[in-house]
Amino acid sequence: MNRFNFLLFLCISVTGFAQDLTISGQVVDSNNTPIAYANAILYNADASEIISGSSTDDAGQYNITSLQSGSYTLKVSYVGCDSKSQNITLDSSQSVATIILSPSTETLGEVTVNVKKPTFTKQVDRLVFNVENTALIEGTVLDVLKSTPGVLVMNGDIMVKNTNPTIYINDRKVNLSASELSTLLDNSSANSIQKVEVITNPPAKYDASSGVVLKIIMGKNLIMGYRGVVNTSYTQGVFPRYTGGLSQFYKTNKLNINLNYNYKHSKVNRNNIEEITYQNNDIFSQFWKTDLNRNTTSKTHNANLNFDYFIDDNNTLSLTSNVLYLPYFDYNTKGNTVVNDLQGTDNYNFRSHNSSQDDKYNIGTDLDYKLKFTDQSKLSINAHYTKYDYQRNQHVNSDYYFQDPTSDFSTGFKTLNNQTTEILSSKLDYDLALDDSANLAMGIKMSNIKTYSDITQFDIDQTTGNQTLNTANTNAFDYDESVFAGYISYDKSWDKWSVSGGLRLEQTNIEGFSPETNTTNIQDYLEWFPKFNISWEAFDKASLHASFSRFIQRPKYTNLNPFNFFLNDNTIVTGNPDLRPSFTTYSTIGTTINNSFTIEAYYKTISNQIVELPIQDNAANLFVFSPTNIKSINEYGLDFLADLYISNKYSVYFLNSIYNHDLDVDYNNQTYNFNQWINYSELSSSFSMLKDNSLSVNLSLAYSTKFLQGTVFGDSFLFSNLSLSKKVLNNKGSVSLMFSDIPNLQDIGSRSRFANQNNYVFHDLDTRYVKLGFSYKFGNTTLQTNQNTKSHTERNRLK
């Protein structure tokens, strides 16, 4: 029996070793110099299927592990060299003789690798901007978006044609609130970005609230191994800012693991000048002028985990988790307000100090399962959970000074605000390729959002320090929203035609409750959202296209809260529990010539658009910012786009949009019309320098004439951005330099003047800065990550 056990143990051991074999070797060139980053791919015996693979290190060495005994074909390749194949019969771990790769006979003695230029391509439903291997990828993701055609980044707010887009990374939405989105993108390195797609008419599989979609696509690679990237940057604006981060990626036959961590310490300055004319019945009452200085200091930690497990060729399980933690967010505002009337008899001024400390975290987790039935059909299942917690501690003090010092006095109060939000969602998508030119997709989704908010205000006696509960400004708000959705879409192409269309249905059930006032707001509605695209290649170098879509914008949760946040005694930010969702229809027709020039006309209508309007309470001398539904908006315009290659090293694109923005606003039982013609232009130039193309330069400019947003007319502005990137340390390192808002023309003034409303605000933003960055890749630097930052439209409304 002992002998039998020994033999059994020996057989098991031998079998185990036989299933964990290794092939190793070295790759060199004709001068016997090791070749780094050559691909060593192992196929089955007839070379019809990839079994495993690796790439060589700096010494030209490769190792392919976890193999079973059998017959294989080993193929080794490197750019600019002829590939070599070798048949291998494997019965034990073995080392392959050194493989020598010779220069390709087609290279004519010299290998020239052309830099991928930023290509601007107009498709029927989207704009595609290729940014790989340009100076832009050495900045942040937000820097890339600033140079993306049609995308406007203004004071951290991302806009596409007056619409806030939804951000996707590799088909997964960014799972952060709208207010945190800019922080995340400005804290994320762009060195893995391949291209950005601006999808103006997304397919029906996207949520109806997605509207315009910004899809960021990261590069991919089948090579296995480990790659790491460390990056840091220093920015000097009014105050210094700095970031640091580490990204690690490991890939095997069965696993993809990506772990990122970024830290950002930031202090941003902002100066405002506010001028308000308070009047009653067209009679001048008082003129208020305020100088505001705002400093926002934050310490942000962001971690992202992506884990993919390939069960077999047809089954994949993925886990994605993102954590955004702000343990320190200090918002400090100091203001000086001068008040006078026409006679100057009631002149006085007051100084206010608003100090707000926030503490919040946002954790989102996704579990995905993908099942491939055949090459033509696949099933995707997703489950998502978000936990968001937010706390704010605010102190406001104001000191009033009069011509008679005996009338001077001071006020003070503090507020405590808490918000907790939980989001649960699940969806199922099924894709079926009917043939080589037709596809059918369908799916369902369910989501539930629960949020609880409360605010407590205490008035503080400035003499005694005693605190008194202010019941008028103490409140709570419970919000419960459920959305049930289903969609079907179909696309077909043949000869010179291509057509895609779909229909999405969404049932929404909402209940908002204020326990302090015992007020309940219920909204239940079923809406349908059609999508349609058609294109026709009329001639060899000219095509026509048209599209139509409808989408929804739901209110942000905090915008529904009936809370009053006092910035000072007379400036209030408040919610509106009566907000309704807005609906947009968008139609386009256009032509593309020679794949370089596009002319497109569009027409857009919006009902109940949600806009935060500045409204004066002339009787109480209050300046109130409140979200409001605008009755109707009509917009139509003409876009011209050009994408030109001047040379192999130099390319330029140009965008010019002329459009009319017309809207009606109800105020004090009257309807007021606002109309403005607007011209928006973009120019971007990218070029490579030096013989090895190791220096990349990008210059982006964006200009807008006077524009209209709600009841506010904005002044013209010019955005400018110059980026330079130089590869160093054998192309493993990159040094980047960025200059933003060089002529300092990004500051914006805005005025609202109608009925008894007359106010003007000038925004002096901290947008003029220089940024120095450095990144270094280690490990297998040819390996691309599986990085996916997932998002859901429900999370985008956290604010």
State yes or no: pLDDT of 785 exceeds 80: no
Is 777's pLDDT higher than 50?
A: yes
- Rounded (5°) CA angle 378-381-386: 150
- Which of 147, 245, 168 lies closest to 210 in space, CA to CA? 168
Residue 201 has pLDDT above 70, yes or no: yes
Asked if the model's pLDDT at residue 53 lies above 90, the reply is no
Q: Which residue has the tokens 């987790």?
A: 365
Enumerate the β-bridge partners of residue 262.
Answer: 245, 302
Number of Cβ within 10 Å of residue 228's Cβ equals 17
Calculate what percentage of the chain has a pLDDT beyond 90. Answer: 40
Residue 162, pLDDT > 70, answer no
3-state secondary structure 459-515: EECCCCCCEEECHHHCEEEEEEEEEEEEEEEEEEEECCEEEEEEEEEEEEEEEEEEC
Fold for the domain defined by 225-796: Maltoporin; Chain A (2.40.170)
- The rounded distance, in Å, linking the Cα atoms of 779 and 226 is 6
Distance (Å, whole) CA 544 – CA 211: 23
pTM summary value: 0.74
Q: CATH 2.40.170.20 in the chain, residues?
A: 225-796
Q: Which residues contact 241 (CB under 8 A, 6 or more apart)?
A: 234, 235, 264, 265, 266, 267, 268
Which pLDDT belongs to residue 51?
80
Residue 182 banded pLDDT, cuts 50, 70, 90: low
Average pLDDT, the chain: 83
CA–CA distance from 642 to each of 120, 216, 417, 582, 720 (Å)? 8, 22, 50, 33, 19
Alpha helical stretches, state H, 219-366: none
Residue 673: pLDDT band by 50, 70, 90 thresholds?
Answer: very high
Predicted confidence band of residue 109 (pLDDT cuts 50, 70, 90): very low
pLDDT at 753: 93
Q: Where in the chain is the domain with CATH 2.60.40.10?
A: 2-107
Q: Which residues of 375-390 are buried (b: 16+ CB within 10 A; e: fewer)?
A: eeebebebebbbebeb
Neighbours of 431 (CB within 10 A): 17
Amino acid found at 376: Q
| CA 421/CA 387 separation, integer angstroms | 6
Query: CB–CB of 205/441 below 8 Å?
Result: yes
pLDDT, tens digit, 9 for 90 and up, residues 465-516? 899 999 888 888 899 999 999 999 999 988 889 999 999 999 999 998 888 7
> Which pLDDT score, from 0 to 100, does residue 67 have?
83
- Least Cα distance to 778 among 726, 725, 729, 736 occurs for 729
Among the ranges given (135-144, 373-382, 407-416, 632-641), the one the predictor scored with the smallest mean pLDDT: 135-144
* Cα gap 478→623, rounded to integer Å: 27
Residue 101 has what pLDDT?
85
Q: Give 519's strand partners.
A: 514
Tens digit of each residue's pLDDT (9 = 90 or more) over 744-759: 999 999 999 998 899 9
pLDDT score of 503? 96
Phi, psi of 132 (to 5 degrees): -60, 140
Tokens of 405: 């010092």
According to CATH, the topology of domain 2-107 is Immunoglobulin-like (2.60.40)
The token pair that represents 609 in the structure block:
């658009």
pLDDT at 148 over 80: no
